[in-house]
Structure 1
Amino acid sequence: MITRQWHYFDAKDQILGRLSTQIAILLIGKGKVDFAPNLDGGDYVVVTNSDSVKLTGKKELNKLYYSHSNYPGGFKTISVHEQRAKDSRRLIIHAVSKMLPKNKLRADRLQRLKVFPGSEHPYGKK
């Protein structure tokens, strides 16, 4: 029987990479006594204030996210500054997604990650 706990993070003034590693470890369930790499035994994670997460150096302007639509000429780039204005939740989701193992459990683990741009969320009190 897998028992899942809820963990709450406030991303205000937190560095994106350091916050994402803590979240990824909780989603995988690595700190649990009954950890097994083939079972999905991770916890739920709620992140608030994703719009005020910090990046070090000049990454706000220089870091780019790449995507391709699989059509000719469908290569697109977007900077962190543009992505933050468009949807700041994607910054944390993308960082955590790249830190999770690339296997069939990845999608289920990402579904347990709940990210909100403000401080309000419907998942209980902190």
Structure 2
Amino acid sequence: MKFTKIATPEQIDQKWILIDADGKTFGRMITEVATILRGKNKPCYTPNIDCGDFVVIINASKAKFNGLGKVANKEYFSHSGYFGSTKSVKMTELLEKNPEKLYKLATRGMLPKTKLGAKMLKKLKIYAGDTHPHTAQIAK
């Protein structure tokens, strides 16, 4: 009989991957980032263990968006739990003021909604410009 190998946290080799968002389509890049954070691109993928790599995204404000009027019309909602506390922010405002938050919101939707998903999201580093403090990492 053949058995499936289950990876343990000691066997996981986590690397740093640098992604330049300049000219890339936003949605396709975020799906690639979510796959890397989850570890599904590795042969040792185990669903209940954090097998993913660290991801650094630079030039976050220069990503390309497809779709007719998607950037102008899409809204992100937040709610504190109290009556009448729903707030909405347009995608254009998020892209101008805080592109890091836009990337985190989009990536969070593609990761598990558990403690493991929150741990994976902490491995995502986003920078609006082309400089970042993670100098030892190599580009992809």
TM-score range, shorter chain: over 0.9
Q: 2:46 aligns with which of 36, 42, 46?
A: 36
1:110 equivalent in structure 2: 121
Determine whether 1:66 maps to 2:77: yes
* Alpha-carbon distance in 2 for matches of 1:17, 1:85: 17
Ranges in structure 1 where 5+ consecutive residues have no aligned partner:
none
The reply on whether 1:87 has 2:92 as its aligned counterpart is no
Q: Partner of 2:56: helix, strand, or coil? A: strand
- Structure 2 distance, partners of 1:6, 1:111, is 13
- Structure 2: distance between partners of 1:80 and 1:22: 21
Q: Provide the C-alpha distance between the structure 1 equivalents of 2:23 and 2:80, rounded to a whole number of angstroms.
A: 34
Counterpart for residue 18 of structure 2: 8
TM-score by length of 1: 0.95
Q: Which ranges of structure 2 fall in alignment gaps of 5 or more residues?
A: 1-9
State which drifts further: 40-49 or 64-73.
Answer: 64-73
Q: What is the aligned residue count?
A: 126
1:88 maps to a residue whose letter is P
- Residues 66-124 of structure 1: per-residue CA shift (max 9 Å, x gap): 11121211001111111112201111111111011222201110110000000000112
CA shift at 1:54, angstroms?
1.8
- Structure 1 or 2, whichever has the larger Rg, is 2
Question: 42-51 or 55-64: which moved more?
Answer: 55-64
User: Residue 93 of structure 2 aligns to which amino acid in structure 1?
Assistant: E
Percent pairwise identity: 39
User: Is it true that 1:23 corresponds to 2:23 in the alignment?
Assistant: no
Give the structure-2-normalised TM-score.
0.86
Do structure 1's residue 50 and structure 2's residue 60 form an aligned pair? Answer: yes
